[in-house]
Structure 1
């Protein structure tokens, strides 16, 4: 019932969107101060007019892109001839940019020497060449054997990036508690061990920008370009990014992998300067923890995964449903608290269900906190639910403090004891226990034999949470059974139930948009069954204002009693004032007494 899950990041997705948009806008405004309409401005470092630069690659000009894997990062033709492997080529490309242009993806298998797989100091590099067609004198295949023009007109753009990185191998914390653990994955390694990892993805972006630029100090964007002052030319920006590689995509290098080869996926496209600034700012946030706040690596990983696996429309749809989820949860909690705050009678309400739900909420909270696959949004909501459940328990049962051990005395409310509700409640709990106990015991044995756990505590919490998630709808049956026996539903907090029902359908969608354990995700659909049962009982046991309920009172008569009570309360001040007036009159004549009170000297 519980699946093995990889470590997933956690965090708040909405905060990320707002912070990144704000930082990108601020960065764009700062850059605009130095790049927009600055012709004729003075460079303070030289005291001369700032030099105006033009892009070496003009609009609509043709160019070629070649990606080679080399054993060194020199970036010259000698490294290509000595052992370079061509893994990607895009020829006759037009220097332009189209919004939402898709990546051109090519996956190649890279072979490496035995030294690379056995020594951590041996690396591989991706060398990318951007060759304008106007730089060729005579083209040939492969391109580095072509003849190029002399001087500046025959130059090209070359960028190099390493395809390996040293990372700490994280060993799985889960073990088989009763069996042997010799079947661990080879990739786990020792906890904390450093291992050379292969980076299987490289994004090659040609930044399209033909705007004339001034060499102004502090221009972060333009400082990333290679400039040639004598020709007043800057090279097009060739942006190589490995930022969109997820945690599980890194591949630990082992000596046994020499015969298999390594897969390298090249994603090629053109991009705008805005995308370049957004991506570099995002990368800077991941390295520094953010300028406006601190975020964990898991939060970055979760947000990257969301952007990679979700299109923009689904992302907006996700944000809307998360907002609805929060709103309905708030109103459901608000009306539930209002109902229990005003409720003075437990007639028709299952006190045992309230206590069981409180215990289940604690178990779920401990399980969610113990899980690595969770969002802080879910943790916060569950914590609020635990506090509310604890408060409802204090309203459902009578708790008193004593001077003798165990210093707490728990009892039932008087109206709960004297009504048939307690009898039906115990009957429902009895039938529920008969069904649940064999299922829970079977699941506990199955989980112990076939699942891995971090510790015995994690095992117990996992079994308890799995039982709550899987058989939790059975725990909600006492209230349904009480409604069936009393043939009434007018004692339920229907306003809170309506908000909870709306939130249930939102949860069905949001459960696949927010990171959470699979059992917690499936429990959202379990609640739908209970809601439809309540809907059927609402239809079958319709509330008639003139019909007495199970306690020989009707809503209409209750309203009349409330009005009479309010009228009597309003009449009390008038009666008190009349009594004061009568005290001032003479007992026989009815005239007011003229005797003044004697003042003591």
Structure 2
């Protein structure tokens, strides 16, 4: 598909005539670019003076990309009439023959999406960034945004195709490539008055293989948007286009491979985590594992689930998040008896330990108290900062945003109680190390995704945060090796070896 080949002879051994590119390799061509305001694609006279000219060789090895910047003045009158500033690219031979022409507007008109207005909470005023001017009819309002970069592509094609009808040659294709331009890259105009911005016009060669691949992608995405998504600007489609457009091809292939590995390791981590909690008795779990950390993780995951739901995240992510919450809740039932109690019309859970009180409870509680001393000023400070300097849809949305941001930024603090118990017990023999290893591998894979996939800054920070936690666990494993002179280390080690032997026998 990317590099097609065609036979020289047909089934009757007759020679098949081919038609080829009329432009020879290395032949010099001229690109003239014209800028003109118009309601529709303008017709540029043959003798018009170009605003930008490029002379170049039609050769993929000697060609050098070119670019220029043009100032664009957008008036309210122009936008109200749905006019545009058109860029017309005309390709000429050395003899002055016109062989290709492409057009593109620097203003993109699109259907107005329903966006919730955001406010400054302290003053109650509407944020300017959350409002845009509307054009067109009241039934179908439109928005207008500026295109910061216009890419003019000339396809470099040396393929000999089967000859159709009477043609014996073809000219290279030239077009304005807007496929990779997503809405988050467009320039928002002011809510009133005229506006100015700068558009960069970039001219470059595109290989025939990439051109075919992109056309196939365009066709596939168009079909997907019609069947499964709300439009070409759906968040999933935007991320897919951004990934293919802004990622090195080798890194993209590596990402696809490690994505499969990520799913495998995630499954193995979950499997070993469940096995550990199912096979370890309640007394050992309560003695060595921070139950408060598990409870905090449930609360944080619930907060993040509501935040992702509010941000209209993909349903697959929401379902996986619910699954993780369910597993964490099941963990608590291995050590605690959970019952529901009524207080009037309200229902709330009650917890009762299955085993007697242990010193680990005191360590767990002590770690949580120390942690609250550190986190409380940070929570109050960030909440005040967000209320004063950030826009929000409502007070509940503000509270959810603050909670989710703190969970993303300070999630590593959830592991502090477990680290503290390890420190006081001077032992890590009780931890599910297989699960930690699988999760650690996935953490480093997440670091790769953090560089190439579009995501909130807080979520990107959380990927590197998990690296720190795992390194702390490795350090504790180094300074607290398994000591069989301690009864609980020996018991736990023998128990683990017995379980491994049972699995082999099964």
TM-score by length of 1: 0.69
Please name the residue that 1:366 is paired with: 306
When residues 328 and 257 of structure 1 are mapped into structure 2, their CA distance, relative to the original with a 3 A threshold, is same
By relative contact order (CA 8 Å, sep 6+), the higher-ranking structure is 1
1:208 equivalent in alignment to 2:152: no
Deviation digits for residues 79-123 of structure 1, max 9, x if unmatched? x64xx6x333222x3333349x763222223568x6963542433
How far apart, in 2, do the equivalents of 1:198 and 1:429 lie?
Answer: 51
Q: Secondary structure at the match of 1:289?
A: helix
1:535-550 correspondence runs (5 A) = 535-549=474-488
* Pairing partner for 1:502 from 422, 437, 441: 441
1:237 equivalent in alignment to 2:189: no
When residues 544 and 87 of structure 1 are mapped into structure 2, their CA distance, relative to the original with a 3 A threshold, is same
Contact 1:375 1:515 in 2 (8 A): no
Q: How much has 1:452 moved relative to structure 2?
A: 1.7
1:430 equivalent in alignment to 2:369: yes
Q: Secondary structure at the match of 1:157?
A: strand
1:250 equivalent in alignment to 2:186: yes
Contact 1:428 1:477 in 2 (8 A): yes
1:58 equivalent in alignment to 2:24: yes
Q: How much has 1:400 moved relative to structure 2?
A: 4.2
Q: Secondary structure at the match of 2:32?
A: strand
* Pairing partner for 1:125 from 81, 86, 99: 86
How far apart, in 1, do the equivalents of 2:430 and 2:67 lie?
Answer: 62
How far apart, in 1, do the equivalents of 2:70 and 2:342 lie?
Answer: 77
Q: How much has 1:66 moved relative to structure 2?
A: 0.9
Please name the residue that 2:68 is paired with: 106
How far apart, in 2, do the equivalents of 1:212 and 1:528 lie?
Answer: 53
Q: How much has 1:342 moved relative to structure 2?
A: 0.9
Please name the residue that 1:450 is paired with: 389
* Pairing partner for 2:142 from 194, 208, 218: 194
1:97 equivalent in alignment to 2:60: yes
Q: Secondary structure at the match of 2:452?
A: coil
How far apart, in 1, do the equivalents of 2:329 and 2:421 lie?
Answer: 22
When residues 424 and 67 of structure 1 are mapped into structure 2, their CA distance, relative to the original with a 3 A threshold, is same
Q: How much has 1:232 moved relative to structure 2?
A: 4.3
Q: How much has 1:357 moved relative to structure 2?
A: 1.6
TM-score by length of 2: 0.80
Contact 2:79 2:144 in 1 (8 A): no
Deviation digits for residues 386-433 of structure 1, max 9, x if unmatched? 222122122231124689987876333332x24322233233333333
How far apart, in 2, do the equivalents of 1:468 and 1:299 lie?
Answer: 24
Deviation digits for residues 483-533 of structure 1, max 9, x if unmatched? 333333222222212322333333334333333322222223333343333
Please name the residue that 2:471 is paired with: 532
How far apart, in 2, do the equivalents of 1:507 and 1:453 lie?
Answer: 29
Q: How much has 1:375 moved relative to structure 2?
A: 6.9
When residues 57 and 453 of structure 1 are mapped into structure 2, their CA distance, relative to the original with a 3 A threshold, is same
When residues 295 and 274 of structure 1 are mapped into structure 2, their CA distance, relative to the original with a 3 A threshold, is farther
Q: How much has 1:76 moved relative to structure 2?
A: 4.3
Please name the residue that 1:140 is paired with: none
Q: How much has 1:51 moved relative to structure 2?
A: 8.1
Q: How much has 1:155 moved relative to structure 2?
A: 5.5
* Pairing partner for 1:157 from 73, 97, 100: 100
Structure 1: gaps spanning 5 or more residues: 1-23, 42-48, 137-153, 217-226, 567-601
When residues 60 and 456 of structure 1 are mapped into structure 2, their CA distance, relative to the original with a 3 A threshold, is same
Contact 2:90 2:98 in 1 (8 A): no
Please name the residue that 2:244 is paired with: 307
* Pairing partner for 1:282 from 217, 223, 233: 217
Structure 2: gaps spanning 5 or more residues: none
When residues 280 and 410 of structure 1 are mapped into structure 2, their CA distance, relative to the original with a 3 A threshold, is same
Q: How much has 1:455 moved relative to structure 2?
A: 2.2
Please name the residue that 2:269 is paired with: 332
How far apart, in 1, do the equivalents of 2:162 and 2:493 lie?
Answer: 81
Please name the residue that 2:123 is paired with: 179
Q: Count the aligned residue pairs.
A: 484
Moved more, 489-498 or 333-342: 489-498
